Amino acid sequence: MSTHSPSWNEAIPSARQYAIHLPGPLHDQFGEIPYDGAEFSFAAPAPILSMEPRDGANISADFESVKITFSEAVDKVSVQNAFQINPLIYGHSSWSTSANGKFEDVLTFLPNTLFEKGQ
């Protein structure tokens, strides 16, 4: 029986999807572990520094935009393609640099219509 313990020399890069495949059979100190060979997958969280409005916050009817500030550079097209609001609200996105930013770190989503009560 062989054992492999991965070691990381650096942090897992954020905002990426990862898959891990463990070749079977697997064993622990008591014997073989039932395992169907399926891959495990996870997504590393996006490097979000702040978000307006805050998650779960109530917003007023005249609220105009959603702003997400990132702590590191991100693939802008990927972020915009992954961004969604439920229920669906159409609008447009733009990027800007925050006061202390060194790159375009703020995504602003401006909806075409005002948010309705309960959205």
d(CA 89, CA 63): 13
The pair of structure tokens assigned to 87 is 């229920």
DSSP states of 3-43 as a string?
------SSPPPSS-EEEE--PSPEEETTEEEP---PPEEEE
Amino acid in position 70: F
Q: What is the pLDDT of residues 32-50, one digit of tens each?
A: 777 777 777 767 777 888 8
Mean pLDDT of 96-111: 90
Ranked by mean pLDDT, which of 5-14, 87-96, 106-115 comes out on top?
87-96
For residues 119 and 98, what is the distance between their CA atoms, to the nearest angstrom?
A: 27
Listed range (3-17, 23-37, 90-104) with the worst mean pLDDT = 3-17
Q: How far apart are CA 69 and CA 40, in angstroms?
A: 30
Task: Give the residue extent of every domain in the chain.
Answer: 48-111
pLDDT at 5: 47
Higher pLDDT, 78 or 105: 105
